[in-house]
Amino acid sequence: MNSFDKIYAVVRRIPRGTVATYGQIALLAGNPRWARVVGYALHANPDPEGIPCYRVVTKEGRTSPAFAFGGADIQRAMLEADGIEFTADGRVDMERFRWEGA
């Protein structure tokens, strides 16, 4: 299994109503230094329906301005449709919505 496949396997496990960070996905995929690789993998997502890459945000809870499937506004809308709430400054409330997956 290559690095992208490991990343996709982790991202598939993020439940609806939660988010994970790039670093968290990297760690769970086997290498805590892969945060940038996670970004590359999600940008190349071959199965947006099955691999919910929109559920991955920065450690500060920010959406990606380079979100591959329509930009940060689309990512936010998709997260809100999942029940994710944002703070007044436009970030995901990480204390409430961060996935504690292992």
Supply the residues annotated as catalytic.
53
Q: Do 87 and 93 form a contact (C-beta atoms < 8 A)?
A: yes
- How far, CA to CA in Å, does 83 sit from each of 17, 19, 54, 77? 5, 11, 13, 10
CA angle 90, 14, 50 (to 5 degrees): 105
